[in-house]
Chains A and B, each alone.
Chain A
Amino acid sequence: MRKPVEQIEAATILFAGDSGDGSQSIGTQMTETTALIGNDVATLPDYPAEIRAPAGSLAGVSGFQLHFSSEQIHTPGDLCDVLVVMNPAALKMHLHKLKPNGILIANTDNFARRNLRLAGYEKDPLESDDLTKYQVFGVELTRLTRKALETTQLSMGEIDRCKNFFALGMILWLYNRPMEYTMKWIKAKFAQKPQYIEPNILALRAGNTYCDMTEQFAVSYDVKPAPFEPGTYRNIEGNMATVLGLVAASHRSELPLVYGSYPITPASDILHGLAKYRNFGVVTMQMEDEIAAVGVAIGAAFSGALGVTGSSGPGLALKSEAMNLAMIAELPLVVCNIQRAGPSTGMPTKTEQSDLLQMFYGRNGESPIPIVASSRPFDCFESVYEACRIAVKYRTPVIFLSDLYIGMGAEPWRIPEISELPEIKPNFAVSADTTNGFEPYLRDPETLARPWAKPGTLGLEHRIGGLEKSDVTGHVSYDPENHEKMVEIRAEKVARIANDIPPTEIFGTQEGEILLLGWGGTFGALRTTAENYVAEGLPIGHVHLRHLNPFPNDLGDILHRFKKILIPELNSGQLLQLIRATYLIDAIGLNKVQGQPFHVFELHAKIDEILKEMEHF
């Protein structure tokens, strides 16, 4: 008899286990299936820096959280409805994220004494009273998978590696999702190793059947599709959206893309992704270091290509001198910074947005460089495309800021029409316009951009470099007034980009009590919070900045329309400093520097506190 199905609005699931247990893989599959049946979905992979930390250790726990809903959502969820743990260490690390009465599925085969000790448990928590506030389902995942696969030709070790699909089979049953998408994926994934196709599918089916046939679960759940704007959708991770945005900018501008990079978490996926698109003329160069990576991009830009480099904070520190060269040489260049938790090597696999001031100020001399920040996984596409547009139009390096959370997180994306993408016109100089011959620093009066003359163009031979240049002629100059003038021109050129960006959108109330002001990967938590308050009729607005340098022209006005400005950031208050300094506004910070994204409840707590104070006065 079919078990009853309960309709719910949303669910959050967290898969956790050893790095080698395949949590990322089944998390991604659950996400794909969920997106394809029409839910809105947001994900948070959380994994250790060690590729294979000692099995069963706390350091080796890898997790994947996904949140899906029949409504529009913006975050991977604060607390989970379901926690799937492959061993005691995963339980220890993640139990605090499970809601009271939440479902805990544990692979009891891995709860032997050794694993318990590795996780720091003196006795088996599954057999203690510690878990009484949860619905605990102990499942012999390893034994059941071995049983299901006993007729296959695989070795015991290979069979055990299929147990994650047994777990996924259970979760697909629990949320009434079809298995077909995962089966299709398994077939494609193991096309070159077909001996693994059938066993993984068997494990998936076995997990599914197990839930159907046993008395473990009394009900299953269903989450209806979410309302989406009409269009064609795909599920996309932030770094992949960055890849596509760069290819699109190259295609639209007809500038060949040259991407110089050095492997670094969490930016390497951009290098991996772009390297697949040689048929788009994409050149990827894995260089000897971060400096060489930006160097080839600058050289390519000088030659008339779209030069791009990508890294994370430590790499950006190394690139800063070269970025300054591109700045003073006024060459188009896009520098992607996929931020991670610093300082120094910090926590490479954890998220943070603490490089903002580094990007603003981390270079010698007066060095204005435009900054564009992405707010969510799919927004990486538009934001990096915008960075390319500004770089080419204004002949300047542009920093594209993303972070680990949005770079590795995924969500559904409405695929844009090519015609919706703004034009990017290189407008190369083709001839000398003046009687003095070619003047490489003779500027466009509106944008202040200088001409881009690529080598190979007859009559435009010229020399540029890192030494201060004389206005118009570009000759080396030590003239005091000229230097000050050039500093001002370079600043003014960047400032004028503000005339070229759309008006700032305010979500919620347009003026009122509290404005939530954010940037980057905190979008989801801030927007969810704002939606909650607006739904209650409270006068709260939310502005999320894409352009951080220059700030939008209307930002000052908007800030003055609210009594309190709250700036939540995953740093110690970096945008906060900039806003206070720029607009002389007594903005309030909410800061978290734990390598983890904001929970919505943390934002609620702060806003409630501010609202209470405001009532009090």
Chain B
Amino acid sequence: MKRKRTSRIPVGAPTLTKNDFKSDQDVRWCPSCGDYSILAQTQRILPELGIPKENVVFISGIGCSSRFPYYMNTYGFHTIHGRAPTIASGVKMANPDLSVWVITGDGDALSIGGNHFIHLMRRNFDINVLLFNNRIYGLTKGQYSPTSERGTKSSSTPLGSLSLDTPFNPISLALASGATFVARSVDIHLDHLRPMLKAAFEHKGTSFIEIYQNCHIFNDDTFILQREKENKTDHTVLLEHGEPLVFGAERDKGIRLNGFQPEVVDTTNGKYTTEDLIVHDQYAEDTTLANFLAGMSDTPDMPHPMGIFRSVRHPCYEDLMTNQIRTAKEHTGEGDLEALLNDGETWTVS
């Protein structure tokens, strides 16, 4: 089942190119940072979306990823740590025709901005959130983050004082917060990342993409199994709507549900066939399947699902508010300031 674009952001711009979306500022991420790739893919897909460039707004918080808006030749606002979702909500509410993108990181979105992140998801503004997850604080020089695995050695947890916190699973958190579009991709998997970015735009409602991103300075190779070409076929599984969950270099492995536990099975030994595997349904209203899939990345030896976990249509906050305003005007008429000031009991002194 193929669903068409649901976003109502006006499109039909003059033909633009990738270069139209590049600003005149020098990009200042460390050489070979995963952010370069995400920036380039975003600049590549934007012309294909057909949105006039003046209708695009990038909003970020604080962190390495949050420098992103400076490199985009669109409207941009580099705000304060963790608060980008709130500012993006205000931008979108005041002008629902804008295509609003939030660029954030694991510390920005899940630690200092954790509260705003979950509330943005449940309000379902038509905003796209790209979370660059590198499981570390980069800009502040290598402290462990809310997605760092327990036992991470970092500048704030050196030697024998390894990190004690259980990490957040961003996908599970987004699902639990009522997110209507939840996806995962990888910074350098260009052919996967681009369609995810497009799908996020095309989804009407808050779209959340967790992007595995490598910080080779402070947390190099944290996603080595999911990111590197030689590993990824055995350690990731692509989610495709209506398709069974098959993976492996030989496409010989699959994911089946054993009771309430997903398990990896061999589809070539005669015991199981693809008929036994989970068939992905990204449009399911119920989040049970999406939650099973999300939990896989917390389970040792399971491949990490990549792709769209969930894509459902719910009302957007800005549309509900616009409707309230329209209904109020229909019922009581356009606001009359003089009548408002003179409302209630008045008396006249002559």
Contacts and interface: CB of A to CB of B under 8 A. Distances in A.
Interface string B221-242: 0000000000000000000000
The A interface, classified by DSSP as helix, strand, loop or mixed, is: mixed
Given A455-B75, A455-B98, A299 B93 contact: yes
A244 interface: yes
B311 interface: no
Contact of A321 (B73, B80, B87): B80
Interface in B301-350: 321, 324-325, 327-329, 331-335, 337-338, 340-350
B76 interface: yes
B346 A458 contact: no
Contacts of A283: 93-94, 321, 325
A280 interface: yes
B333 A291 contact: no
A177 to B, nearest CB: 14
A415 to B, nearest CB: 5
Interface string A405-420: 0000000000110100
Contacts of B119: 287-288, 292
Nearest to B86: A295
Interface residues of A, number: 70
B83 A295 contact: yes
A9 to B, nearest CB: 19
A316 B90 CA distance: 19
Contacts of A458: 52, 54
A418 B338 contact: yes
B95 A303 contact: yes
B91 A232 contact: no
A327 to B, nearest CB: 12
A463 B23 contact: yes
A576 interface: no
B345 A247 contact: no
A234 B347 CA distance: 7
B17 to A, nearest CB: 15
B88 interface: yes
Contacts of A181: 345
A300 interface: yes
B55 interface: yes
Contact of B54 (A302, A329, A456): A456
Contacts of B85: 292, 295
A301 B116 contact: no
Contact of B340 (A256, A277, A297, A322): A277
A346 interface: no
A279 interface: yes
A277 B74 CA distance: 34
Interface stretch (A90-98, A203-211, A347-355, A464-472): A464-472
8 interchain residue pairs of minimum CB distance: A299-B90, A295-B86, A465-B78, A280-B335, A303-B94, A296-B90, A278-B328, A463-B76
Interface of A: 32, 35-36, 38, 181, 228-235, 244, 247-248, 251-252, 256, 258, 260, 277-281, 283, 285, 287-289, 291-305, 307, 321-322, 325, 329, 415-416, 418, 454-467, 475-476
29 contacts: A36-B347, A181-B345, A230-B349, A233-B349, A234-B343, A234-B345, A244-B341, A248-B337, A260-B86, A278-B327, A288-B115, A289-B115, A291-B86, A292-B83, A293-B86, A295-B90, A296-B86, A296-B87, A299-B88, A299-B93, A301-B90, A303-B90, A303-B95, A455-B57, A461-B54, A461-B75, A462-B76, A463-B69, A465-B79
